Structure 1
């Protein structure tokens, strides 16, 4: 009887964890899809809503590491001053995992279609953290 009860308890916990991960993945994917839509409208302020508004936010790009939300936001505005520079964004998701409670890791590829400036593409890794019930990017490493 004890073995049956223990097995049922383990199955319940595993099912709950799986359901939680599925919901969390859906929430993160929705945020990423919203980011693409915001980018394609030329709306960098809305695009930035997926990022942690903190001095501890980290963005790693080809010029090095940028710390802080404000500096990351300013970097986007500088690199993408208009719709021609921004182009049309497409994300391809390559790997999605939950390495620990309240933490997600997404690896993907981005492609910017920019007829006037030339296309740009590369890969990204995003570390997400659930903060006050909301999934936010706490570290973004983008190549390209």
Structure 2
């Protein structure tokens, strides 16, 4: 495991640009607020650059962004690696024909939708989301991409 001194200095800049808000949206949660990262041009660029460096040349043809923070980070990553961007949204937000996938949340269920035909068989996809709690959103995204 790399020591702190061996880490890319961009990681520290990104980390320090993310505001931590205790007990939001409810007691016991340490909310990682990326809106402050978006205000820091260097940290925001570093974030995109790190993703691009990691995924460029990996034969990715689709960047799927999960609503809503995936819409912030996904498009610039997609453009930089030469992939198309596919939005994954909550129900009734996308016009036209969609496919849907229900998934479990910590307390209940939700549904994610994607346009029919947005992804073709054999395309390699990268999913961009802001966090993984139960993994339900990620699993739904993967199922939609494989449909």
TM-score (norm 1): 0.24
Q: Rg: which structure is higher?
A: 1
Compute the TM-score of the two structures, normalised by the length of structure 2: 0.23
